[in-house]
Amino acid sequence: MSSKIAIQGVPGSFHHQVALKNFGLDAEILAFNTFEPVAKSVASGVADFGVMAIENSIAGAILPNYDLIDRYGLFIRDEFYLPIAHQLMALPGQKIEDISEVRSHPMALLQCKTFLAQHPQIHQFDDVDTASVAKRISEEKILGLAAIASEIAAEIYGLEILARDIQTVKDNFTRFIILHREKSDSDQIPNKASFKVTIKNEAGGLAKLLTMLAEKNLNLSKIQSIPVIEKPWEYAFFIDAEYNDPNQFRESMKLITRDFGDLKIFGEYRSRKL
């Protein structure tokens, strides 16, 4: 039986591509408009796994998704880095001069801001997904509207690419995480972990924490702060750390629990950074 994979977006989206690359063409895709039902479907067991973008090499972290992982009690099983190439597409027969409006996911618009600045006549609007805009243009035969999406989306929905590879930085990658409702049982030895630390409200707490992690030879590839809603002026830190020695990682986690505050580990897995 094929796995059920929850994604945000429609066929042709970057999430759809990652799901097929990870789980095969026979995977059953459960598509949602936003990220929260993706997390909810995995937590409830409706989906076996979820695919969720967590950061982009240009636009940075997607902070609300860290909160979803935490709130729904999910675990990170793996990660996947997808090269992102954005194409401007519209109904066939049009030119860029005919386009008055472009819609896409806000992250995609941000990643193409230099190109869009060269075409001030094209008004930009956020939408829920890249490929969903392409789908709507195709189904409703909308003239004057362009989508920013993948080449695969143009092929699926029969649109013409008006400008290729319009992302500002050509080496543009999005990091996706593979979510499950249980901890990993992989045979691979992990060398990366994602965890949350809620630091005690005391002077120098974060500096002391970072010093301790450095002494344990943990390389912090990402650290994001989010306010603790129920405790004003206290912050939780979502951290990604790479390491060579699993024993040093475990020792550092024990020290966090003993000396720094509350700890929640979201997953230990292999780094897939290209």
Residues 214-227 have a mean pLDDT of 93
Query: Does pLDDT of 229 surpass 80?
Result: no
Model confidence pLDDT, tens digit, residues 122-136: 999 999 889 999 999
Among 86, 19, 80, smallest CA distance to 55 is for: 80
Q: Which of 23, 75, 176, 260 is catalytic?
A: 176
87-163: CATH topology:
D-Maltodextrin-Binding Protein; domain 2 (3.40.190)
Q: Which two tokens stand for residue 171?
A: 């080496």
pLDDT at residue 218 in the model:
97
Q: Tell me whether the CATH fold assigned to 4-84+172-180 matches the one assigned to 192-268.
A: no
pLDDT at residue 274 in the model:
67
Residues 197-203 have a mean pLDDT of 82
Q: Which of 23, 130, 174, 260 is catalytic?
A: 174
Is 174 an active-site residue?
yes
pLDDT at residue 231 in the model:
76
Q: Please check whether residue 198 is in contact with residue 261, taking contact to mean a CB–CB distance below 8 angstroms.
A: yes
Model confidence pLDDT, tens digit, residues 17-62: 999 999 999 999 999 999 999 999 999 999 999 999 999 887 788 8
- DSSP labels, 107-126: HHHHHTHHHHHT-TTSEEEE
The Cα-based distances of 250 to 190, 198, 257 in angstroms read 12, 18, 11
Identity (one letter) of the amino acid at 204? G
Q: Which residue has the higher pLDDT, 51 or 185?
A: 51
Model confidence pLDDT, tens digit, residues 5-28: 999 999 999 999 999 999 999 999
4-84+172-180: CATH topology:
D-Maltodextrin-Binding Protein; domain 2 (3.40.190)
pLDDT at residue 204 in the model:
85
- Length of the chain, please? 274
Mean pLDDT of the chain: 93
Query: Does pLDDT of 149 surpass 90?
Result: yes
The Cα-based distances of 15 to 63, 148, 248 in angstroms read 17, 15, 34
Q: Which CATH superfamily is domain 192-268 in?
A: ACT domain (3.30.70.260)
Among 194, 190, 162, 150, smallest CA distance to 54 is for: 194
Q: Domain boundaries in the chain? A: 4-84+172-180, 87-163, 192-268
